[in-house]
Structure 1
């Protein structure tokens, strides 16, 4: 008889183990960490311990702290909600404030479990609330616990729907009780939720995290979005956030210059639509060009240990563009140019293409190329103006940082003299400690990819490239609403004054500056002119004419001159730039266009073929014959 009772009890214990180990059909995924390998001696002990309580087996079960489900003793996790078994086999609700325990029920339906857990989560995120507050909801703004039927918080008047959960896409399950797969899904929803990224971007501006801002912009977030009253309350930093403020306001308030440049460049942008530069059409050739450019960087030894590029290269648009149909030309320019920057530089007070003689008679119209807005727009624009590709490998930026570090003495002497002269115009005399601190900040920014760059960096890059740099830029930076943010003093002429003139080229590179963003300014290369200028010029010399004065005839500012050089600024310019005066009396610089490098020619040929193929589809089944594609030549890659 005793053997039959023992066998019957063994079956009950085994069935209890199987029930505890089996996953609930109403719960997603997950498994219960229960071992079913029970030895015979353990089974005997469990059977013997269960005999006295066969009629009241519920006393041996343990109650889940979260959902109150009664689990079998060997279960290490709750069968219903997967919460861990408590260290003490007691109902935790009996230990809080002398309150009576929640009613113990067996919940089978998945909907009941969800409702139970939701009520527990709202009343207490940790699932350890007393019975008197189990059904209350906690205000997302002031955390006051309100009665279930209350539609608004009795303390602050906030809505019952928690903004942090619904607007930001947070799970209904407590973070402490979320399974890894559910946590991954929650993180994915957050990463794809623009509202959550927006609040993170606001915090990122305050804390100086440009990555949060870039994530928000990459998710097509509106840079002009303003903080609402509820979002200000949710961020809970009255000293940092105000209703109606945008990311631009925050960047100005907390002096985040690099983030401000990124925002302004994104706001100005390159206009709507797809952008397709030559380097995007032929990425392999673009990579080869970048590799070639990096291999041309040298280190000058001696009193001025500056990095420099041992060749002179200038990028221009091919004249074959004009052979394409008008509609294809419009598509090409729409995908290539920064139309917003072009419009800003040509309207109001025109900075480029203001001279009819230079633009039409001399055929030197300038086009603003679309440029990336990742914070490296200055080296990117110079790399485009010289080689036609972006500085994705930061070769120019690395050369800039190394030059400012190794040739610090020479650059600092010029820079601090210029800063003192600028301050004297404002009747101010900076201290040496101030200048040293500002110099340290500028040199650190040069070595940090993505950081905003300043006039000093343009001056140093003119030495790395060993040629003058002309910047046509706005005098004032405005917000997207047209509000003035500050003065921009980038416009002007930057000369490699620390080199010997014979070591440098007199053909300048040309940049445009609008709203904290640089763009390369290039022209078409069909220029072959007879004598037009007052000075001597070789017959059939291929060049572009760039004005050295503004539309009022005033010489552009020449940066980083000494007091002696300022006396004859135009004479200094003529010493470093191949200058001439047109018949209309405009002082211009001649940018000579030599033979196009082979890799650059192949890059442009593949880029043009893309639009030629498109033109063939538009014209019909019998298109004109295309030029040979040079990109298949295996000997063109440069290591």
Structure 2
């Protein structure tokens, strides 16, 4: 015998159940004794394929899932008799005893109340309502006290569910002790309807996999570049893979998404993503886990155990290395001469732009007409010790100084040079805006930053106008370098051209990281050698060696005539993706003591001895030498003596002499330094007064 469509309505969720049902199919509530019975005739001989002929002649489509109720297509009668909630004005179905929206008790109509004004009054609705609205209304009746949250994927399951319906994780023994996930941090809950659509998408005939719905938090944070991993296999394998990926996503928090976004940003060159992760307090040493690599789904770019530093080195993101690995000391506010004197700084920038000229002829490279070398004034030593300490905290980069001096002996390793010859080098503080190389070059010469990109523009134009000259040197040097390190690779001309085009593009992008080739070009623009004292290896925070830096060495303006260039070099420091200017302090002309050579200088010239060997007494590399210039160490030393004023100290150290004169230095730079120093001179009387008062107090005691 088939049932004649007589159903009973659940008093909790108003779901219409079949007469044989003892409990509600939707909310599992016990069938009341006085349940409201409705009658819905249907054709008992209807086939089981899902189409049921109704008395009205229109077919009714049976849903595939038993959780979805059967809905009438003709609902004008019930729709016209909906009752309005007195609390939230929500229109409820006539058989509902509570408001579906706010769960308020349905009011009974008074005898004198008109049907139009009563809580259950008749209210005509001109437009039909979606038949699925009844199901959606009932679906909102899930009370959080009757749910338990899965500890693996945070899905909220029914109270009687023994396993999570999404990941099959077993329910805890004590459901009352389970805390509900925070709505701001938890992922979006997938209801039964979404699960049905998700699974139907997985089992559809076209074979395309549909991802589960993304949470609102994910969409707000704009992680569009992070894609779910694909899966290949049977239907069960696809569904299992989707469940695993869903579990991984649901466990992710905001800092996890920021980390993955930063990883993708390193690969795609998005500096803002890396800055966002670091400014949020993210751990720079964090490693990619297997689940995160699976979620990123790019095996060619991401490996398990990789950090942002590994990725930056792998994809040659020098600007990102500077942000990730350079920790600037924040114990004191930085105060360099260029910050104190903005008017003089602007005049100096205009002076630099006016002194920039382009050489006529085949080698049309830009060059500066003035020889300027920045040094710290000797008057600093006349300040009280406390004021000197404050000055050095504000003008120096203590972290860079420590790394180049203590962590690895790169500068000031010779007591003879640092103490007896007063050639100690100081690392000036430099901003980390991606232009640290250009800034450090101007700091070592004029004491300012390349804020207006004058030097960057000259760099780009020189590379573009003299591309053939620099390209030949670069290609020959890179070929020799690869052979000397046993790489033994050869590139096609198209590949060389592509790499060279990339180098040209870096020079034109403000904030882009620069390479050894750009330092070589800058040596030609300055018309003087550049000596880079830098770390030899990239290292992580745990001290692990990640790769070679290749920056340390001497860069000579080899494409100019020697008579057109100056022999006084400048010094730069390189520490893990960051350049700093290395300057000396004026020594008031110590008459070349102990250098073993006659310098022929007057008392106003400061001579700084820059070592051309490392702490192991090995000669520094000379970059971008041609095949004719390459040779043994004696030949390279001879080349250094031709391009620099060299001498050997009494201790046997080969050094280059950097000469600077206060009288010959640019007057604007001298004024800027004096005005900057006056600010510290004004601190001296206060300090002396406080010291005198302390002495008087001591005498009184």
Same fold by TM (over 0.5)?
A: yes
Residue of structure 1 equivalent to 2:157: 146
Q: Once the 2 structures are TM-superposed, how far is the Cα of residue 289 of structure 1 from its aligned partner?
A: 2.2
Q: Once the 2 structures are TM-superposed, how far is the Cα of residue 282 of structure 1 from its aligned partner?
A: 2.8
Residue of structure 2 equivalent to 1:201: 262
- What SS is found at the alignment partner of 2:682? helix
- Flag the 1:100–1:316 CA change in 2: closer, same or farther, 3 A: closer
Residue of structure 1 equivalent to 2:399: 340
- Flag the 1:543–1:188 CA change in 2: closer, same or farther, 3 A: same
User: Is the counterpart of residue 417 in structure 1 residue 454 in structure 2?
Assistant: no
Residue of structure 1 equivalent to 2:90: 69
Q: 2:531 aligns with which of 443, 456, 470?
A: 470
Deviation digits for residues 481-526 of structure 1 (CA, Å, limit 9, x no counterpart): 1111101211111100111112111110101112122111001012
Q: 2:661 aligns with which of 594, 606, 609?
A: 594
Residue of structure 1 equivalent to 2:425: 366
Residue of structure 2 equivalent to 1:32: none
Q: Judge which range, 588-597 or 529-538, deviates more.
A: 529-538
CA RMSD of superposed structures (Å): 4.2
Cα distance in 1, alignment partners of residues 512 and 162 from structure 2: 48
Cα distance in 2, alignment partners of residues 101 and 484 from structure 1: 59
User: Is the counterpart of residue 499 in structure 1 residue 540 in structure 2?
Assistant: no
Residue of structure 2 equivalent to 1:400: 459
Residue of structure 2 equivalent to 1:571: 638
TM normalised by structure 1 equals: 0.69
Q: 1:102 aligns with which of 133, 137, 152?
A: 137
In structure 2, stretches of 5+ residues that fail to align are 1-76, 93-100, 103-124, 171-177, 189-215, 224-253, 693-701
Deviation digits for residues 98-146 of structure 1 (CA, Å, limit 9, x no counterpart): x557379xxxxxxxxxxx79x79x9xxxxxxxxxxxx989989979673
- Flag the 1:349–1:605 CA change in 2: closer, same or farther, 3 A: same
Residues 345, 448 of structure 2: 8 Å contact kept: yes
- What SS is found at the alignment partner of 1:608? helix
Q: 2:272 aligns with which of 211, 229, 234?
A: 211
Cα distance in 1, alignment partners of residues 617 and 468 from structure 2: 36
Residue of structure 2 equivalent to 1:461: 522
TM normalised by structure 2 equals: 0.63
Aligned residue pair count: 508
Deviation digits for residues 326-370 of structure 1 (CA, Å, limit 9, x no counterpart): 122112212222222222222355221122222112111001112
- Flag the 1:258–1:238 CA change in 2: closer, same or farther, 3 A: same
Pairwise mapping of residues 216-295 of structure 1 onto structure 2 (< 5 A)? 216-226=277-287, 237=297, 239=299, 245-252=306-313, 255-258=315-318, 260-266=320-326, 268-270=327-329, 272-295=331-354
- Flag the 1:344–1:619 CA change in 2: closer, same or farther, 3 A: same
Residues 248, 263 of structure 1: 8 Å contact kept: no
Residues 63, 90 of structure 1: 8 Å contact kept: no
Residue of structure 2 equivalent to 1:580: 647
- Flag the 1:434–1:147 CA change in 2: closer, same or farther, 3 A: same
Cα distance in 2, alignment partners of residues 256 and 63 from structure 1: 65
The structure with the largest alpha-carbon Rg is 2
- What SS is found at the alignment partner of 1:472? strand
Residues 228, 243 of structure 1: 8 Å contact kept: yes
Residues 275, 323 of structure 2: 8 Å contact kept: no
- What SS is found at the alignment partner of 1:564? coil
Q: Once the 2 structures are TM-superposed, how far is the Cα of residue 558 of structure 1 from its aligned partner?
A: 1.0
Q: Once the 2 structures are TM-superposed, how far is the Cα of residue 531 of structure 1 from its aligned partner?
A: 4.3
In structure 1, stretches of 5+ residues that fail to align are 1-55, 72-79, 82-86, 105-115, 123-134, 170-182, 624-639
Residue of structure 2 equivalent to 1:331: 390
Cα distance in 2, alignment partners of residues 575 and 592 from structure 1: 16
Cα distance in 1, alignment partners of residues 529 and 687 from structure 2: 43
Residues 288, 306 of structure 2: 8 Å contact kept: yes
Pairwise mapping of residues 460-539 of structure 1 onto structure 2 (< 5 A)? 460-532=521-593, 533-538=595-600, 539=602
Q: Once the 2 structures are TM-superposed, how far is the Cα of residue 379 of structure 1 from its aligned partner?
A: 0.9
RCO comparison, higher one (Cα < 8 Å, 6+): 1
- Flag the 1:607–1:90 CA change in 2: closer, same or farther, 3 A: farther
Query: Which structure shows the higher helix fraction?
Result: 1
Q: 1:553 aligns with which of 602, 613, 617?
A: 617
- Flag the 1:327–1:225 CA change in 2: closer, same or farther, 3 A: farther
Residues 378, 518 of structure 1: 8 Å contact kept: yes
